Amino acid sequence: MTDETIIDVHDLSKKFGELTAVDHISFQVKAGEIFAFLGPNGAGKTTTIKMLTTLLHPTSGEIRMNGFDPVHEQSKARASFGIVFQDPSTDDELTAWENLELHGILYHVPKQLRRQRMDALLKIVGLDDRRNDYVKYFSGGMRRRLEIARGLLHHPKILFLDEPTIGLDPQTRNHLWNYVKELNTKENITVFLTTHYMEEADRIAHRIAVIDHGKIVALGTSEELKQKTNTTNLEDAFLALTGSSIREEEASAVDTLRIHSRMWRRRS
Amino acid sequence: MQTIYILWLRQIKRYIRSRSRIIGALGQPLLFLLALGFGLGPVYQRAGGGDYISFLAPGVIAMSILFTAIFSGIEIIWDRQFGFLKETMVAPVSRMSIMVGRTLGGATVATMQGLIVFIITLFVGFRPESIAMLPAMFLTMFLIALLFTAIGTAIASVLQDFQGFQLIMNFLVMPMFFLSGALFPLDNLPKVVALLTRIDPLTYGVDALRGTLIGSMHFNFALDYSVLGGITVLSMIVGSYLFSRIQV
């Protein structure tokens, strides 16, 4: 880890009509750091990530990603990061191999290096023998693993992992985090992650930001958060910071559409 | 360049792999050819129009290109839904090249579909006027396909989900088809209908296609190609602007 700041967020807000999803947050992530973003459902984690990754324009505030502004220097900002999305984003009609290949080309990874990494990554995520199968026949966990392999293919400067371990068994999760740690130390890749598994954040993250109702309510190392809240583990610290009421998330148009398409597919 | 190629290839692969979609999309043109072609053929002939199948075949080919092209463009909504759109949207490539790759891919797919329908018309008894015009036919088909894929892309860029799709089918695509002169000659029409047919871009596509296939047309190639080309460029520009503004 160095002292160089790679993600710089200043007074960032995002409003959807009346709803303020992200409310004037500021934080810095240092190059080479593993930074966890924790928060209950609907706290603003994914919205923040979308703004950092050029998918959404902020209502106000400033972002610097590797020195670039994601609103006005989109291409340069995009070249700086890789992302594993919370929702699936592979192409069902392509094979695992083709999905990786497409990604490698979009990120300008030279052919030889691309093939090498594709081989290595498919082995790591345990999909080596399924490389030529269509993704539509994959289970949820397999898709997840493929997406993770894909996100790592181009060795970005900053890697976003938005709840990457949902639906994975402990073995794969363990493998994944070990690989991420290795990438972090060997290639000095900055990792920005969100997760609902507190023990994962506890184990892997250098610093943790807790976000709730669009605001950062605490930021520090796991130890600091525990001290601050007078608790012995991160889960308790998290609950102390964010309360214990259950959050609702509204289903988006996309969710509704997904349900429809599932019905359609069953019919055909 | 590689970006455009890989996204083009993706469209082609998806098309070839969805055999049920290819075959399903052939039902409609086949129905039009058989029901209208043989059903209205005798009346058309008695009215002095000549062979209706010959007249109808280019129209039905244009129809299948129109539908496939619009649908290829609209596919962006699927990609938005299945998340694949995000994958391309965060890649360090210009949105312009993404849009161009997809549109070329969609247009190629629609052209292939048009070619399949062309082959079907041969079985129904259609004979093109001259083999020498087939390259021109091919070019015209691709131009029609490009135009409507670009329009589909532009539309899909502003739609969040499929709820607006029915609206577009009923108020844009179907009228474009029925008013294009694909089914009836453009002569002696009531003023309003004549005007509507003339603002319908497909009219010029059908006319050019008819020109290459049966050698008779209402306008001329110069007018048809300038209108088609002009509107294609325009919708590509509008489409890439709308596409570049997509937020997911």
- Give percent above pLDDT 90 in chain B: 46
Q: Which residues of B touch A92 (CB under 8 A)?
A: 82
Cα dist from B44 to B41, B53, B206, whole Å: 5, 10, 19
Q: Of B195, B228, B194, B193, which Cα lies nearest the Cα of B209?
A: B228
- Asked if A92's CB is within 8 angstroms of B18's CB, the reply is no
Query: Is residue B131 predicted with pLDDT exceeding 60?
Result: yes
Q: Which residues of A touch B90 (CB under 8 A)?
A: 53-55, 78, 81, 83
Nearest to A75 among B86, B94, B160 (CB): B94
Higher-scoring residue by pLDDT: B246, B194: B194
Q: Which domain holds residue A73?
A: 5-80+156-267
In a domain? residue A53: yes
A109-166 pLDDT, tens digit each:
999 999 999 999 898 888 999 999 999 999 887 888 898 889 888 888 899 998 888 8
To the nearest 10 degrees (0 to 180), the angle between helices B134-158 and B201-214 is 160
Q: A169: which 2 tokens?
A: 């068994």
**Where residue B127 falls among pLDDT bands split at 50, 70, 90?**
confident
Q: Which residues of A touch B93 (CB under 8 A)?
A: 75, 106
List Cβ neighbours of A175 (8 Å cut-off, separation of 6 or more): A124, A125, A126
- Asked if B87's CB is within 8 angstroms of A90's CB, the reply is yes
**Neighbour tally for B62: CB within 10 Å:** 30
- Burial annotation A234-255 (CB, 10 A radius, 16+ → b, else e): beebbebbbeeeeeeeeeeebe
Chain-wide mean pLDDT for chain A? Answer: 86
- Give percent above pLDDT 70 in chain A: 90
In a domain? residue A115: no
Nearest to A79 among B78, B86, B92 (CB): B92
Nearest to B162 among A78, A98, A257 (CB): A257
Cβ–Cβ < 8 Å for A146, A90: yes
Mapping DSSP onto H, E and C, the string for chain A reads CCCCEEEEEEEEEEEECCEEEEEEEEEEEECCCEEEEECCCCCCHHHHHHHHCCCCCCCEEEEEECCECCCCCHHHHHHCEEEECCCCCCCCCCEHHHHHHHHHHHCCCCHHHHHHHHHHHHHHCCCHHHCCCEHHHCCHHHHHHHHHHHHHCCCCCEEEEECCCCCCCHHHHHHHHHHHHHHHHHCCCEEEEECCCHHHHHHHCCEEEEEECCEEEEEECHHHHHHHHCCCCHHHHHHHHHCCCCCCCCCCHHHHHHHHHHHHHHHC
Nearest to B90 among A53, A87, A261 (CB): A53
In a domain? residue A147: no
Residue with tokens 């106000």: A60
Q: Which domain holds residue B179?
A: 2-244
Q: Of A157, A264, A255, A166, which Cα lies nearest the Cα of B20?
A: A264
A209-225 mean pLDDT:
90
Higher-scoring residue by pLDDT: B129, B107: B107
Cα dist from A103 to A152, A244, B91, B170, whole Å: 10, 40, 8, 37
A71-82 pLDDT, tens digit each:
988 888 888 898
Q: Which residues of B touch A50 (CB under 8 A)?
A: 248
**Where residue A1 falls among pLDDT bands split at 50, 70, 90?**
low
Query: Is residue A266 predicted with pLDDT exceeding 50?
Result: no
Q: Which residues of A touch B14 (CB under 8 A)?
A: 91, 93-94
Chain-wide mean pLDDT for chain B? Answer: 89
Query: Is residue A183 predicted with pLDDT exceeding 50?
Result: yes
In a domain? residue A245: yes
Cα dist from B135 to A31, B83, B132, B140, B149, whole Å: 57, 39, 7, 9, 21
Which CATH number do you get for residue A47?
A: 3.40.50.300
| B interface residues, A as partner, C-beta within 8 Å | 2-3, 6-7, 10, 13-14, 17-18, 20, 77-94, 160-163, 247-248
Q: Of A176, A84, A88, A98, which Cα lies nearest the Cα of A139?
A: A88
In a domain? residue A176: yes
Predicted pLDDT at B162: 75
Predicted pLDDT at B124: 85
Bridge partners (DSSP) listed for residue A15? A20
B183-234 pLDDT, tens digit each:
888 888 899 999 999 999 999 999 999 999 988 888 989 999 999 999 999 9
Domain total for chain B?
1
Query: Is residue A230 predicted with pLDDT exceeding 80?
Result: yes
Question: Which residue on chain A is closest to B20 by alpha carbon?
Answer: A268
B33-84 pLDDT, tens digit each:
989 888 888 888 888 778 888 899 999 999 999 999 999 888 888 888 888 8
- Asked if A83's CB is within 8 angstroms of B94's CB, the reply is no
Q: How far is A227 from chain B (nearest CA, A)?
A: 38
- Asked if B86's CB is within 8 angstroms of A257's CB, the reply is no
A92-107 mean pLDDT:
93
In a domain? residue A211: yes
**Where residue B94 falls among pLDDT bands split at 50, 70, 90?**
confident
Q: What residues of chain A, 74 to 103, have a C-beta less than 8 Å from chain B? A: 75-76, 78-79, 81, 83, 85, 87-94, 98, 101-103
**Neighbour tally for A151: CB within 10 Å:** 24
Give the count of Cβ contacts less than 8 A between chain A and B. Answer: 93
Query: Is residue A251 predicted with pLDDT exceeding 60?
Result: no
Domain total for chain A?
1
In a domain? residue A43: yes
- ipTM surpasses 0.95: no
Q: How far is B3 from chain A (nearest CA, A)?
A: 6
Residue with tokens 């506890």: A202
